[in-house]
């Protein structure tokens, strides 16, 4: 009995991490921390994929998680380059001050 973990525990952990990622995305003001919260959400979803893969005893969930990782790497490269450009233009990282589309 001590050797068995219910599969719902993994999914609940994934849900907790996803909710924390959402919270960080909504509450934080620093654009880099907001970006890190997105990575946290992607990680939570990856855990779900791997868990379902275990449940179905198939490899396909692993491949999905692998592609998510690849896309996350590409996204991080482009996103951080965009953050660099924003900082070069505006000398700020606070998302409240980057509001020129509002006016």
Output the smallest distance, CB 103 to other proteins, in A.
19
CA-closest candidate to residue 50, choices 31, 35, 68, 64: 64
Q: Quick one: 1 or 101, whose CB is closer to other proteins?
A: 1
Q: CB–CB of 62/53 below 8 Å?
A: yes
Count of chain residues binding other proteins (CB under 8 A):
73
Ranges within 9-28 binding other proteins (CB under 8 A): 9-13, 15-24, 26-28
17 membership: H or E segment, kind and range: helix 7-27
Q: Quick one: 87 or 98, whose CB is closer to other proteins?
A: 87
97 binds other proteins (CB under 8 A): no
Q: Taking every pair of C-alpha atoms in the chain, what is the biggest distance, in angstroms?
A: 62
């Amino acid at each position: 009995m001590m050797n068995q973990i219910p599969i719902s525990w993994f999914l609940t952990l994934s849900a907790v991490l996803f909710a924390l990622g959402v919270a960080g995305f909504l509450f934080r003001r620093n654009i880099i921390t907001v970006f890190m919260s997105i990575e946290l959400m992607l990680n939570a979803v990856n855990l779900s994929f791997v868990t379902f893969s275990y449940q179905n005893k198939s490899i396909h969930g692993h491949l999905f998680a692998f592609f998510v990782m690849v896309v996350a790497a590409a996204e991080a490269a482009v996103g951080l380059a965009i953050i660099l450009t924003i900082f070069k233009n505006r000398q700020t990282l606070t998302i409240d001050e980057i509001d020129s589309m509002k006016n």
